[in-house]
Amino acid sequence: MPLKIIVCGGGIGGLTVAGYLRAEHNVTVLERGNLDFTINDYGLSVVSNAFNLLQKAGIKSENLDSVVMTHLWMRSSNNDEIRTVHFDTRKERGGAPSMMTRRATLQSELLRFATSPEFPGAPAEIIQGAQVTRVDALEGKVWTEDGRSFEGDLIIGADGINSAARAAVLGHDTPLNGVKLHDLLCFITRVPIEIIRGESSLEYLANPSSQAGLVSFHLPPDSKSPKRLLIYHTSSHELQVLGYTSEQEFAQVFDTKKTAIIKDIPAKRVVDEFSTDFSKNLVDLFNHNQIDAWRIRDIDTCDTWYRGKCVLIGDAAHAVTPHAGHGCNLTIEDAEALAYLLKDAKPSDDLKPILEKFTSLRRERARFVLRRSREMGNIQSEEDKKLEPISPAEFSRVMHSYQGVEHALKKETSTSAA
Ligand SMILES: Cc1cc2nc3c(=O)[nH]c(=O)nc-3n(C[C@H](O)[C@H](O)[C@H](O)COP(=O)(O)OP(=O)(O)OC[C@H]3O[C@@H](n4cnc5c(N)ncnc54)[C@H](O)[C@@H]3O)c2cc1C
C-alpha cells in the first residue's frame, strides 16, 4: 500500500522528490505559483555528483540547454589572472559532468521527471496556485490560502527559504522563521555571449563549447569591501553577471515591499556602484539587459528536520547563500536520499525512524556547505570565525565524493564496524 505524500513547493526540491517518490507512492505537489519557470530565474551549476544522481534517474542533459563546466577562474578586479583551475568534470569528479544551466530549464526538466509517463509510477499531481499557509505536522494536514486542505501520511516541506512547513517543524515563535540577513545583495543580469566576442580581455569566456565555467573577480585581499563580481555561463549562448555589494538604500525597499527581489534596477546605479573598483569592460556588462537586486539570506541549518508527519528538504531545512553554489545540489541529494529511505514505507508504519535517519545522514553535509558559503561571503558567525577555514580543495573533495544515499549508508555501516 503506497503512502499518500503531500509536497509543499514545486521548486527544485519539490519536483525532484516527487520524481523519485512517484515510483512507489502517491504524490501531490502544492505550488503557490503557476510554474512559470521564467519567474525568479537565474543561472546555476549542478555539480557532477548531483547531476550524476539526476542522470541515473533519467534526467537528460540535452534537455537542459546547458554547458559542461571546465574552468574556474580567479581574477583581480582588473581582470588580471590570479589562478585558473582547469578540470574535466566528466572524468575527474562524481561520475557525470558538472552542468551550468538556468534554474528555469532545470525545473522544467524536473517537472517532466515528476509527471511524464516515461518514468516509473503514477505521475505526481501538481496543483498550481496553491499557497500553503499552515501545516499541522502532527496531523499531517496542510491548508492553502484559498481555503482548501490536504491530508497525507507524510508532508514534505520543500517550500524554500520562507518555508511555511519549517514553522510547523520548529515552532511558530522562531523570529523571522529563522531567516538571517547579512546586509548583502547581489545585482543579477544576463548578457548574450555575442557581446563579449571581439573583447580580447574576455575572450576566454567566448567559446563555452570548449571552455565554460565561472570567473570570480576579487578586490585585493586587504580590502574590507563586500564588493565582488562574478561572471558565469548559463548556456552555450548566455552569461550571467552577478555583483555583490551591501544593501544600502535597497534594505528599506526589501523591508517595506516584503520582497527579496527588486526588479529593474537602473543600470547607472549598478555601474556607479562597481566602476571605482572594477575594470570598465567588466562593469559595462551591466549595461545590456534588465538588472534585478536579490537580497542575500540564509538560515542556520535546522537541528531537527522533522516533526510528526512533516519533514523538510532543500532550502526549507538548510538555505545557504549562493557563494559556494551548492544549495540546489544539496537539495537534489536530499530528495534522492529521502525517497530511497521511504521506498518500502507503508501508511501503517511509524515514519519517525526513517525521518530521523534522513536527518542524521544529511544534516552535517548541509552545515558544511553553510559554513563554506559564509566563509566565501565573509559573513561568518563569531562561532564559525573560531574554526579553521575550509580550504577550496577540501570543500571540493567532500562535495564531489558524495555518491548518493546507498553509498552513504554503506560508508556509515563500514565506519561503525571498524
Ligand atoms: C542567485 C542564486 C544563484 C544560485 N546559484 C546556485 C548554484 O550555482 N548552484 C546551486 O547548487 N545552488 C544555487 N543556488 C541555490 C538554489 O537555487 C537553491 O538552493 C534551490 O533552488 C533550493 O531548492 P528548493 O526546492 O529547496 O527551494 P526553491 O527552489 O526556492 O523552491 C521552493 C518552491 O516552493 C514554492 N513555495 C514557496 N512557498 C510556498 C508556499 N507557502 N506554498 C506553496 N509553494 C511555496 C516556491 O514558489 C518555489 O517553487 C542559487 C540561488 C540563488 C538565489
Q: What is the pLDDT of residues 149-187, one digit of tens each?
A: 999 999 999 999 999 999 999 987 777 889 999 999 999
CA 107 – ligand 1 centroid, Å: 10
Q: What is the pLDDT of residues 314-332, one digit of tens each?
A: 999 999 999 999 999 999 9
Residue with CA at minimum distance from ligand 1 atom 16: 328
Whether residue 82 lies inside any domain: the answer is no
For residues 140 and 23, membership in a common domain is answered with yes
CB atoms within 10 A of CB 222: 5
Instruction: Look at the block and give the residue holding cell 501508511.
Output: 347
d(CA 357, CA 362): 9
For residues 290 and 307, membership in a common domain is answered with no
For residues 325 and 282, membership in a common domain is answered with no
Cα torsion through 100, 294, 190, 212, rounded to 10: -30
For residues 56 and 205, membership in a common domain is answered with no
CA 11 – ligand 1 centroid, Å: 6
For residues 328 and 370, membership in a common domain is answered with yes
For residues 8 and 141, membership in a common domain is answered with yes
CA 269 – ligand 1 centroid, Å: 27
- Phi first, then psi, for residue 38 (nearest 5°) are -85, -10
What number of H helices and E strands is found in the chain? Answer: 14, 20
d(CA 337, CA 359): 10
For residues 311 and 243, membership in a common domain is answered with no
Q: What is the pLDDT of residues 2-31, one digit of tens each?
A: 999 999 999 999 999 999 999 999 999 999
CB atoms within 10 A of CB 341: 18
Which range marks the domain in which residue 111 is found? Answer: 4-66+94-178+300-417
Choose the residue to mutate in 20, 103, 311 for probing ligand 1, maximizing ligand atoms within 8 Å of C-beta.
103
Whether residue 74 lies inside any domain: the answer is no
Whether residue 270 lies inside any domain: the answer is yes
Whether residue 356 lies inside any domain: the answer is yes
pLDDT band at 91 (very low <50, low <70, confident <90, very high): low
CA 12 – ligand 1 centroid, Å: 6
Cα torsion through 62, 67, 70, 72, rounded to 10: -140
SS3 7: strand
CA 243 – ligand 1 centroid, Å: 19
**Strand ranges, E, within 121-254:** 125-128, 132-136, 141-144, 149-151, 154-157, 179-192, 213-218, 228-235, 238-245
Q: Work out which ligand 1 atom sits closest to the CA atom of 242.
A: 1
Whether residue 275 lies inside any domain: the answer is yes
Whether residue 45 lies inside any domain: the answer is yes
For residues 199 and 321, membership in a common domain is answered with no
d(CA 340, CA 330): 15
CA 315 – ligand 1 centroid, Å: 6
Residue with CA at minimum distance from ligand 1 atom 2: 322
CATH number at residue 22: 3.50.50.60
pLDDT band at 42 (very low <50, low <70, confident <90, very high): very high
d(CA 24, CA 11): 21
Burial of 154 (0-12, 13-18, 19+ CB in 10 A): buried
Q: Work out which ligand 1 atom sits closest to the CA atom of 164.
A: 41
Q: Which residues contact 327 (CB under 8 A, 6 or more apart)?
A: 314, 315, 319, 320, 369
Residue with CA at minimum distance from ligand 1 atom 25: 13
Whether residue 157 lies inside any domain: the answer is yes
CA 413 – ligand 1 centroid, Å: 32
Q: Which residues pair with 179 in a beta bridge?
A: 299
Whether residue 72 lies inside any domain: the answer is no
- Phi first, then psi, for residue 362 (nearest 5°) are -100, -25
CA 203 – ligand 1 centroid, Å: 32
CB-based pocket (< 6 A), ligand 1: 8-14, 30-33, 42, 44-45, 103, 131-132, 158-160, 162, 164, 188, 294, 314-316, 322, 325-329, 331
Give the count of domains, the chain. Answer: 2
For residues 137 and 254, membership in a common domain is answered with no
d(CA 92, CA 181): 36
- Model confidence at 37: pLDDT above 80: no
For residues 142 and 10, membership in a common domain is answered with yes
- Model confidence at 258: pLDDT above 80: yes
Query: pLDDT at position 263, please?
Result: 96
For residues 185 and 223, membership in a common domain is answered with yes
Mean pLDDT across the chain, nearest whole number? Answer: 94
d(CA 20, CA 133): 26
Q: Work out which ligand 1 atom sits closest to the CA atom of 144.
A: 42
pLDDT band at 89 (very low <50, low <70, confident <90, very high): low
pLDDT band at 103 (very low <50, low <70, confident <90, very high): very high
d(CA 167, CA 176): 10
C-alpha distances out from residue 127 to 32, 120, 144, 149, Å: 8, 20, 11, 12
The HSE-up count of residue 376 (CA atoms within 13 Å, CB side) is 23
The HSE-up count of residue 91 (CA atoms within 13 Å, CB side) is 4
Angle at 217 between CA 295 and CA 198, to 5 degrees: 115
- Model confidence at 235: pLDDT above 90: yes
Residue with CA at minimum distance from ligand 1 atom 4: 322
Q: Are strands 71-76 and 149-151 parallel, antiparallel or unpaired?
A: unpaired
CA 417 – ligand 1 centroid, Å: 38
Residue with CA at minimum distance from ligand 1 atom 30: 160
Residue with CA at minimum distance from ligand 1 atom 51: 322
Radius of gyration of the chain (CA): 21
- Model confidence at 120: pLDDT above 90: yes
CA 230 – ligand 1 centroid, Å: 20
For residues 287 and 212, membership in a common domain is answered with yes
- Model confidence at 94: pLDDT above 80: no
Query: pLDDT at position 90, please?
Result: 61
